[in-house]
Structure formats: structure tokens, C-alpha cells
Amino acid sequence: MKDDTANQMRARRLGVLTQHELIALVHADCPVCRSEGMSAHSQVTVTHGDKSVIATLYQVTEDWLPVGSVGLTDQAWERLDLEDGALVRITHAPPLASLSFVRQRIFDDGLTDDQIRAVVSDIVRGAYSDIHLTAFVTATAAKPLATREVISLTRAMIDTGERIDWGVTPVADKHCVGGLPANRTTPIVVSIVAANGLLIPKTSSRAITSPAGTADTMETLTRVDLNRDELRRVIEKEGGCFIWGDAVDFSPADTAIIRVERALNFDSAGSMVASVLSKKIAAGATHVVIDIPVGPTAKIRNRGQARDLADLFRTVALTFDLKLRIEVTDGSQPIGRGIGPALEARDVRAVLSRSPDAPQDLRDKSLSLAGAVLELTGKVPEGEGIARAAETLDSGRAWEKFLAICKAQGGIFDPPVAKYQRPVNATRSGRVAAIDNHRLARVAKLAGAPDDKAAGLDLHVRIGDTVRQGTPLYTLHTESIGELSYVLDYVKSNPDIIELTR
Amino acid sequence: MKDDTANQMRARRLGVLTQHELIALVHADCPVCRSEGMSAHSQVTVTHGDKSVIATLYQVTEDWLPVGSVGLTDQAWERLDLEDGALVRITHAPPLASLSFVRQRIFDDGLTDDQIRAVVSDIVRGAYSDIHLTAFVTATAAKPLATREVISLTRAMIDTGERIDWGVTPVADKHCVGGLPANRTTPIVVSIVAANGLLIPKTSSRAITSPAGTADTMETLTRVDLNRDELRRVIEKEGGCFIWGDAVDFSPADTAIIRVERALNFDSAGSMVASVLSKKIAAGATHVVIDIPVGPTAKIRNRGQARDLADLFRTVALTFDLKLRIEVTDGSQPIGRGIGPALEARDVRAVLSRSPDAPQDLRDKSLSLAGAVLELTGKVPEGEGIARAAETLDSGRAWEKFLAICKAQGGIFDPPVAKYQRPVNATRSGRVAAIDNHRLARVAKLAGAPDDKAAGLDLHVRIGDTVRQGTPLYTLHTESIGELSYVLDYVKSNPDIIELTR
């Protein structure tokens, strides 16, 4: 501990891909760890030069890992920027002072600005294990964050991430709170808005609870893991982009929190507002349109919930001087046909390229949101947004802009097509009375989306359609027989996902 | 998926000790996993013969693990009872239906008996990751379990574990809710009670939030990881025992929950009551004395909290027809001198062997609790318990019983002594006004307790003592220089753990 040569060990790349957790393996007989009193499952700091990470230490008793070596998982390896055989230093991770604030949040009061900042800082430096992170996320879901806590969380997330200043105003952005499968309006809105000369540095997430996020979808069409310099180049050239937010690291705390929410398949209003607005502000946005789909099986179930969420968005936005427009939209059924990254990408392309079989609902909703952005930023007068958006789309200028952005991001690809396709047919004739968004999303996820880009489903009906017995309601797309049989089991035990009345 | 020869892989022992998480490593090019659509961080079921475990799958890209092999951490290896090269089958872990109940518990209502049973069953079969477990534990701490939920949780824990019926009544037990460092009365109470001819099949936990649990302490004196058959043999021979509860698996769900609580350094009333009573009932106890220490820096801060907790204990005990006596005791300072496994063991031995320098407070409290057990079980009339307990101790019969139990459990050892000892001296003269139990426990943990058995501290003062500047308040015991410097940093920045007034 006294000098830099103590506790040095030779680093070895294990080639183990973990989704997130950084793991360090050392031999149980390792004198460095013995003298420091480190035991299985200690949190340790691994340092190389001026870089360091906090990792969970596991002990190895077999000799495939020699005494004096430390095996590191890939994420740790990359964050330390190591080469094989490099010397690293292992020390106790510093105590986690902010954990008392997590306990306070569970048992007693809300947290102050400073306390939330301490928690977020510790999350960002990787000091929270899954257990610590989950306790914070669950506590703020079970006992919802107060408005002032949401503001503190938003500020802490902005301050612990990277921020871009474009030096101009307006800078537009849009966001959907989610909960509706498909509904892939973002690439269309961005193309229309950018084609009108506005800046819209849109970053998107991967799926949290859904079968695809915009980043998952766009990844089947172009490169999305651009860094901040590349983001800047694309925006300066084309005005718009569709990139994966995590790669630009606007809010590393949010990335960690979302990973936990994904495993639990929920997100709560307070953390969602902080997550969304912190990333918009970090990306330099000044004018943001928020889409809140409302429906009985959407994330937001009724108008009252939508109003509360909208109020929270507005209050927090006001604090940070962000202009906001909330669009409460129909969330009774999916928007578009494909559900899953590649299938949604196909719909997006169909609308933009004015294909005759493009889904009309996706076109209409995208025009409405693009119109809202054009009006909010003052690009067109109130009431003229949709017309201008339609004109941009119909003239082919949005399609050209889309292709230009893809090219600037690294080229345009063809989305993959799944190996196995299997229709799910109506077991009787009738009229479609309701579609369960939640369980339909589950079907697409069981089929393999979003990890398998081509997986998901194609929805063939909308509410109000009449179907005959034996005609397909939707078609499953999977990449493996295993997953196909897995999802068919679920489909069989859930025959009412698409509800038919006589 | 169709037949037993599909998805077979050769098992390889990695020799990696994790504290709990079961990990399976496979090469990224592994066709079995590809065809099943398994990706990094999938939950998979690993099956061998009639045994199976659920593990987290990580992918390996380096060739130290060949395609077709699955590397398993030690805990997975042992639970599957494998030999090197054995064939195991890897399949998708079944979907986690009970997770919707965890979400329900976070966002909406309490849970029904069946819902709690479903959660507990999934925990027991290892299907919950740290994230899932922590969400359940945190939700039931942030929004406390209703009494009927505590009853459901207790019942589910009993039903998913093993249970012993002794065929006689009374069967005695005792438990302390904790929060007070040292306070190692259990081995003394068990020895006195068993010496009076009663059955007291006491199982103890390791430390949850403290520097030592009774199991940690007794492990420095005898073997504590006895299985159920061994437990039965010891009880039938000697009437009492001091063994580690996890080894007999009375409540595997509780073991998992406590691991999370330990990482978060808290436990909540509802889960504590379910945890304690389920294990007592599973161990066949009919009459139980509960010690609730109350003090400003103990776990239970005031009489009101103690009353609420006592009420919850009584209501749940009544449901399961368990006779209970609650002793609310003084929790203003540690009981005994040593804090840490070996140091507490030394005090226990001193009291039992009637050593002249035995801590008087530990003796008095142990006699009081043993007396309560003797009265509750009807062994002696009300009011005569303490006298009988004192007689048993002073006659040497308790010490003989203690030695006999240790012998039956596997022999008696000498507790280890720490390599480094360093006094922490009074920075001025004065009277001891208060002792911060919580921070004193933290000092002992930073010194290495309970992982290092010999680590901890020896407390030299009690409230009301007068000390002179430069005399030692307590002595730190550590096994490494690293930990010594670590704990000294904390001690220096917390000079008021022992509060002195002029």
C-alpha cells in the first residue's frame, strides 16, 4: 500500500464476456491478496497507470491461473486499456459511504441533492454491485422519488456524464416513454426534422423492457455505436443522427440503472424522467417533444397517469430551462407491423421510401410528432407542422436525409431475415376487439428479440379488423428451433393475446 | 431439447470460489448454445442425472476453454455432484413467473400466501439472480411486510426447507435479534439449559450486519457445519448444540435473503421475524426466548420499536403454536469485551470456566436468558430461573456440558490470536458517557472480522468508567498490516466512537 510497486500482479485477459460485472480472478494462494486480507467476493480496485476499475474478486484454487496473475473479464480489460502481461495493482476498494443513503432511502426519508450526488458518483465509478444498485432502484420505485429528488437525480446524472454544447438554438429532440411494441417513429421524425434544416442530435437506448429499442432497430440499418467526436461530425454534416446513447456516455449512471430495470422488467416514473431529460440536456437539446402512448396494456394505462407523468416532465424541464411539448397518443395497439429490431427497421424504411405497402399508422404518427417538433422549435407556425412534415416525406427529402445520415454514420445495411417463420392463426372467426401489447411484446422477446436482431413477430391485424378462422394473426420470426418451440409453448397457453369477439 | 443427448457438454471444474453466484462459462463458438439462442448473461439450467442448478452463462472468446466444454464454479460443481469430464445438459432456464409478484410488491399491493410461496420457491431453486433477490428484499423493507405476509413468508420458508420432529415437548430455543456487538450469550445459555436436561437444538447464523455471528464465534472453538444427521446425534447425546444453521438447510430461502441483507447491511422487521421463527419451527422448537436489546445505537432504538417487533413476533408465533417469551434488554453498550469471532469465544470460555477475569455483564445476561428459558419451559417455577441458572454455572455443570457438546460436535479448539494488536488510546481524560455500538462494530469489521476469525477489537471500558488521557479505550486486532492501516484511518476520522465527558 505504501509504494507503487507493492501489490503488483501480471494481468491476463480471460476473454470472458460479462454483460456488465467486472470480475478479477486470483489464485487463492496469492500472497498479495493474503497480506491484504482480501477474500472471495471482496470488491477490489484494479489500477494500471492512471486508469482504475472496481471489480469483484473471486479466488481460484486450480492451477490454470498461476499465483501472481490476475485474470480479468473483457470489460475490465478494455476499461484499463491493457496489454497481455501488463502489471496492475490490486488494492481494497474504498468503503462505500453512500450506501447509508440507500438505506436511508429505504427506511426513512428522501435524499438531499448532495446525498443523491454521492450515490450517483459511486454508481459511476463502478463501486456499486448489482445488490447495491438494485436496492437503490427498487427503493425509488417502491417509494417514488419526490419531484425535488428527480431534479437532483437529473442534475447528478448530467454532471457525472459528458455534455455537448452546439452553440446554437434551437436544438431539437424527441422521446417516447415506451411501453408500446414497434412504434418506431424516431428515425422517421429525425429524417424529416433534419431535412428541414434543424439540428436533432438524437441518441437512443437499447430495449429496456421491450423487444427492441431504437438503437437495436437502427443497428440493423447502419452503425450506431458512434463516439462523441463522430456524433459531432455527423450532426455538423447532416443535422440529425440515430445513435446509441451509451456509446457517447452522456449518462453512465443511467446506463447502470437501466441495466437493473431491464432485468426486473420495469421502470419507474421518477427514474425515467431523470434518465430521459438528463440525456437530452447532455446532448445539448433545447426543445424536446415527448410522446406518451396511453392504453390499457401500454406502460401508461390511463389519462390520469399520463397527466402525472407529463407534470413531472414539465416541472423538471422547467428547472433546466428546457422547452417541452408533451404529445399524449393512442397506445391501444402497436404502431407499425414488425415487432423486433429488423422487422421494425423494415417498416421504417418502407415509410421513408414511400413504399406502397408501408404501414399507414406508423406514417401518420411520425408525421404528427415531426410536426410537433417543427412547431415547438418555431420552424413553422402552430398548426402547420403536420403539413410541412408530410411535404418533406412525400417529396423524398426525408428519405434522402435518412440515407445521408446512415452514410455519415458508416453506411447502410440490409436488415437480416430470420431463419424460421411460423404463422399463429386465428382459432375462430371474429372481430379484433383488443391487442395485449404487454404479452405481444413478451412473445417477441421469447422469440429472441432484441438479442437476435431478426427475431420477433409480424402483426397482421389491427383493432376492428374482421378475421376468419385459420388466417394468420401474426407470424413468429426466430433464429433457432429451440426458441421457436419455446415461444410456441407460450403462445399456446396465451390464446387471448389478440382478443376476438363474434 | 427433444431428447436427453441433445445439448450435452463436458463439465470442467474451474476451481473458482464465488460466494454464492453459480457461473457457467462456455466458448462463444459453442454450437449447442448458438442453436438455443443463448447469449452472454442468460440464465441457464445445467442438469446432470437427477440434479440441476440454475447458473448465469458467460461466454469465453479465448481458447483456454475448448468448444464443447462448460466451465463451472465450485458451488455449481458441488451441487451437481460432478466428476471431471462428466456430461451435463444446458438448457434455457424456465421463465420466472414469480417476478411479476415482485413487481406487484414494489408498485402495488401486498402479496397473497400463494404469491409469496411462488417467490420463495423460485428463490430456493436458485432461479433468482442478485438483482431479483435484492428487489424482493428491498421492496419488503421499503414497504414493510404486513403481518399476514410475514406469516405467509414464515410458512413458505418452513415448507421449502427441512424440518425436524423430536417427538417430545418442550424443545427449547433462544434467539437475539442482534444489533449489539459481542453479546455472545448463546453458547452459555445452551450449556446451562442442556445441563438441566432440556433439549435445545440451537442453530445459529453467521454475521449478517455484525462483526461476528454465533456460528462464526463457535467455529473457533469447535466444528459447526454439521448436517442434519449429525445434529440429531449431538442433540440425542447431549441435549444441546451450537451449529451453523445454513449447513442443516432449515431455510434455504432465508440463507439467500440474508446474503443480500448482509451486502446492504440491514435487515427489516418482517423478514427478520419470518427468518427467525421459520428456523426455530423447522428445528422442532416449541418454546423460544427472544432477546431484544434496546439502545440508541443498537438495532432497536427505543421501547416503541421493541414493542412493535415483540407484537409481530408474538402474533406470528401464535399462528404456529409456538410458546414465546420476549426479553427486552439493555442495548446501550456491548456485552462482554471481545468483538470478533475469536475474541468473543475467549469471553464465552471465560464465563463458562468461571475464570476470575470473566466479563461480569456477559455472565449476568446469560444467566437471565437461561433463567427465562428454564421458566418458560416449566423446568423451574416462575421467579426461580436465574437462581437455577447460576447454580448450574457455578457448580461447573454448564462448563462440563459445553465441553461435552463441543466434543460431540467434533472436538474443541483454541481460538486463534491475531498477528497485529494496536491500542487506541483516550485523547483526553474524562468519563465514558456513551459507546456507539454501530461504529464500534464497523471498526471490528474493518479490522477483518468476521472473515478473519482472530480479527476485531477488545473493549476496555464501559459506560460510567473514568479514563485518563493515553490509556487504551480498546485494542485493535488484525491479521494484516493492510487492514490495520485501513481501520486506523477510520478510527482517526471517528474519534468520538467512545464519547468522553469531563
Contact A16 B1 (CB under 8 A): no
pLDDT in tens, chain A (502 residues): 344 456 789 999 998 887 677 889 998 888 666 656 566 557 788 999 988 888 888 888 888 898 889 999 998 998 899 998 899 998 878 778 899 999 999 998 899 999 999 999 999 888 888 899 999 999 999 999 999 999 999 999 999 988 899 999 999 999 999 889 999 999 999 999 999 999 999 999 888 778 999 999 999 999 999 999 999 999 999 999 999 988 887 888 888 898 899 889 888 899 999 999 999 999 999 999 999 999 998 889 999 999 999 999 999 999 999 999 999 999 999 999 999 999 999 999 999 999 999 999 999 999 999 999 999 999 999 999 999 999 999 999 999 999 999 999 999 999 999 999 999 999 999 999 999 999 999 999 999 999 899 999 999 999 999 999 999 999 999 999 988 998 999 999 999 999 999 8
Catalytic residue among B122, B254, B267, B347: B267
Q: Which distant-in-sequence residues (6+ apart) come within 8 Å of A321 by Cβ? A: none
**pLDDT value at B208 more than 80:** no
User: At residue B478, what are phi and psi to the nearest 5 degrees?
Assistant: -135, 160
Instruction: Please report residues of A whose CB lies closer than 8 A to that of B138.
Output: 106, 134-135, 138-139, 142
Q: Are residues A330 and A382 in the same domain?
A: yes
Cα–Cα nearest to B446, from B418, B473, B482, B500: B482
Residue type at A373?
Answer: V
Kindly identify which residue of chain A lies nearest to residue B57, measuring between CA atoms.
A18
Query: Does residue B429 share a domain with residue B490?
Result: yes
Please report residues of B whose CB lies closer than 8 A to that of A25: 16
Q: Which residues of B touch A490 (CB under 8 A)?
A: 95
Q: Does B97 touch chain A (CB under 8 A)?
A: no
**How confident is the model at residue A5, as a pLDDT?**
52
Q: Which of B409, B432, B449 is the last residue of a domain?
A: B409
The three-state secondary structure class of A311 is helix
Do B54 and B180 lie in a common domain?
A: no
Closest partner residue to B263 among A106, A131, A478, by Cβ? A131
Residues of chain A with C-beta less than 8 angstroms from the C-beta of B455: 37
Q: What is the DSSP letter of B95?
A: P
List, for residues B370-402, the tens digit of each pLDDT value: 999 999 999 999 999 999 999 999 999 999 999
Residues 6 or more apart in contact with residue A13 via CB below 8 angstroms: A71, A72, A74, A77, A82, A84, B62
What pLDDT shows up at residue A4?
45
Identify which of A16, A133, A134 has the shortest CB distance to residue B58: A16
Amino acid A79: pLDDT: 87
- A:103-162 residues touching chain B, CB 8 A cutoff: 103, 105-107, 129-135, 137-139, 141-143
**Statement to judge: residues B183 and B111 lie in one domain:** no
Last residue of a domain, one of A381, A409, A437: A409
CA B439 to chain centre: 20
| Placement of cell 448463546 in the chain | B186
Contact B131 A135 (CB under 8 A): no
The predicted pLDDT at position A6 comes to 60
Facing B62 at nearest CB: one of A15, A95, A263: A15
Residues A59, B17: C-beta atoms closer than 8 Å: yes
Query: Which of A:387-446 have CB within 8 Å of B?
Result: 446
Query: Mutation test of the interface with chain A: which of B2, B16, B137, choosing the one with the most A Cβ atoms within 10 A?
Result: B16
A29 contacts in B (CB within 8 Å)? none
Closest alpha carbon to A23 in B19, B134, B261? B19
Whichever domain contains B440, its CATH number is 3.90.1170.30
On the 0-12 / 13-18 / 19+ scale of CB atoms within 10 A, B381 is exposed
Residues B330 and B392 in one domain: yes
> Domain range for residue A490?
420-501
Give percent helix, percent strand, percent coil of chain A, each to the nearest 5.
40, 20, 35
Together in a domain, A279 and A368 = yes
pLDDT of B6 reads 60
Contact B39 A451 (CB under 8 A): yes
- Catalytic one among A216, A267, A291, A452? A267
Instruction: State the Cα–Cα distance between residues B443 and B457, nearest whole angstrom.
Output: 8
Q: Which of A343, A338, A354, A337 lies closest to A414 in space, CA to CA? A: A343
User: Do residues A103 and A141 share a domain?
Assistant: yes
Residue A16: which of B19, B25, B482 has the nearest Cβ? Answer: B25
Provide the shortest C-alpha distance from residue B206 to chain A (in Å).
Answer: 16
Cβ-based contacts under 8 A for chains A and B = 178
Residue A59: inside a domain:
yes
- The predicted pLDDT at position B36 comes to 61
Q: CB distance A131–B107 less than 8 Å?
A: no
pLDDT value at residue B341: 97
Query: Smallest Cβ distance to B482: which of A36, A74, A107?
Result: A36
Beta strands in B331-371 (DSSP E): 338-339
Chain A CB within 8 Å of residue B327 CB: no
CATH code (residue B122): 1.20.970.10
Contact B15 A132 (CB under 8 A): no
Cell of B88: 451435463
Whether A399 and A451 share a structural domain = no
B27 Cα to chain A: minimum distance (Å): 9
List the grid coordinates of A441: 411484446
What is the rounded CA–CA span in Å between residue A103 and residue A116? Answer: 12
Cross-chain Cβ contact A60/B482 below 8 Å: no
Angle between helices B147-159 and B113-124 (to 10 degrees): 40
Sign of CA dihedral A9, A10, A11, A12: negative
Residue whose C-alpha is closest to residue A283's, from A389, A116, A162, A183: A162
Task: Classify residue A259: in a domain, yes or no.
Answer: no
Helix spans in B198-340 (H) = 214-218, 228-238, 245-248, 252-264, 269-282, 303-319
- Shared domain for B112 and B233, answered yes or no, is no
Same domain, B70 and B199: no
Residue A480: list chain B partners with CB under 8 A.
Answer: 34-37
**Of A15, A37, A138, which is closest to B480 when you measure between CB atoms?**
A37
A19 CA: distance to closest CA in chain B (Å): 6
Q: Is residue A193 part of a domain?
A: yes
Closest of B366, B324, B332 to residue B349, by C-alpha: B366
Domain-embedded: residue B201: yes
Q: Is the peptide bond before B94 cis (omega within 30 degrees of 0)?
A: no
Mutate one of A1, A3, A22, A58 to test the B interface: name it (highest B CB count within 10 A): A58
Is the Cβ pair B74, A62 closer than 8 Å? no
Query: For an interface test with A, which of B264, B297, B419 has the most A Cβ atoms less than 10 Å from its Cβ?
Result: B264
Q: With contacts defined as CB-CB under 8 Å, which chain A residues touch B480?
A: 34-37
Return the percentage of chain B with pLDDT > 90, whole number.
Answer: 74
pLDDT in tens, B295-344: 998 889 999 999 999 999 999 999 999 999 999 999 999 999 999 999 99
- Residue B17: closest C-alpha in chain A: A59
Residue A252 lies in a domain: no
pLDDT confidence tier of residue B19, bands split at 50, 70 and 90 = low
B414 catalytic? Reply is no
Closest Cα in chain A, distance from residue B17 (Å): 5
- Residue A19 and residue A256: Cα distance in Å, rounded? 11
The amino acid present at A499, given as its one-letter code, is E
Q: Which of A72, A122, A138, A262 to mutate to test the interface with B (most CBs of B within 10 A)?
A: A138
Query: Using an 8 Å Cβ cutoff, are A215 and A204 in contact?
Result: yes
Residues B108 and B62 in one domain: no
Cβ-Cβ contacts under 8 Å for A293 (sequence gap 6 or more):
A176, A177, A178, A179, A180, A183, A299, A300, A329, A330, A331
Task: Chain A: give the shortest CA distance to residue B477, in Å.
Answer: 13
Q: What is the pLDDT of residues B114-142, one digit of tens each?
A: 999 999 999 988 888 889 999 999 999 99
Which region holds residue B240: left if phi is over 0, alpha if psi is between -120 and 50, else beta? Answer: beta
**What pLDDT is stored for residue A414 in this prediction?**
95
Residue with cell 485501513: B486
Among A383, A409, A435, where does a domain finish? Answer: A409
**Residue B264 to residue A39, Cβ atoms within 8 A:** no
Domain total of chain B: 4
User: How many other β-carbons are positioned within 10 Å of the β-carbon of residue A225?
Assistant: 14
* Cβ-defined contacts of A229-237 (< 8 Å, 24+): A230/A409, A231/A164, A231/A201, A231/A203, A232/A164, A233/A408, A234/A405, A234/A408, A234/A409, A235/A166, A235/A199, A235/A201, A237/A408
CATH of the domain at A289: 3.40.1030.10
* Cβ-Cβ contacts under 8 Å, B103 against chain A: 264-266
pLDDT of residue B226: 94
- What does the block give as the cell for B323? 410458546
pLDDT of residue B502: 82
What is the C-alpha to C-alpha distance for residues A69 and A28, in angstroms, rounded to an integer? Answer: 11
Find chain B residues with C-beta within 8 A of A62's C-beta: 13-15
Q: Please, which residues bridge with residue A44 across strands?
A: A55, A92
Strands A69-72 and A8-13: parallel
In a domain, A51, yes or no: yes
> Is the residue at B485 inside a domain?
yes
Distance CA B222, CA B453 (A): 13
In a domain, A384, yes or no: yes
What is the pLDDT confidence band of residue B486, given thresholds at 50, 70 and 90?
confident
Of all residues in chain B, the one with the smallest CA distance to A265 is B103
Contacts of A418 in chain B (CB under 8 A): none
User: What chain B residue is nearest to A448 in terms of C-alpha separation?
Assistant: B37
Q: What is the pLDDT of residue A85?
A: 86
Q: Is A132's CB within 8 Å of B264's CB?
A: yes
User: Any idea which of B106-110, B244-248, B292-296 has the lowest mean pLDDT?
Assistant: B244-248
Residue B106 confidence (pLDDT) above 60: yes
For residue B3, name the pLDDT band (cuts at 50, 70, 90): very low
CA distances from B496 to A178, B435, B443, B470, B500 (A): 51, 9, 12, 15, 8
Residue B489, C-beta contacts closer than 8 angstroms, at least 6 positions apart: none
Nearest CB among B34, B92, B142 relative to A106 is that of: B142
Which residues, numbered 474 to 493 in chain B, qualify as contacts with chain A under a Cβ-Cβ cut-off of 8 Å?
478-483, 485-486, 490
Q: A99 in contact with B at a CB cutoff of 8 Å?
A: yes
Q: Is the domain of B103 the same as that of B87?
A: no
Residue B108 dihedral angles phi and psi, to the nearest 5°: -125, -115
Place of cell 476499461: A79
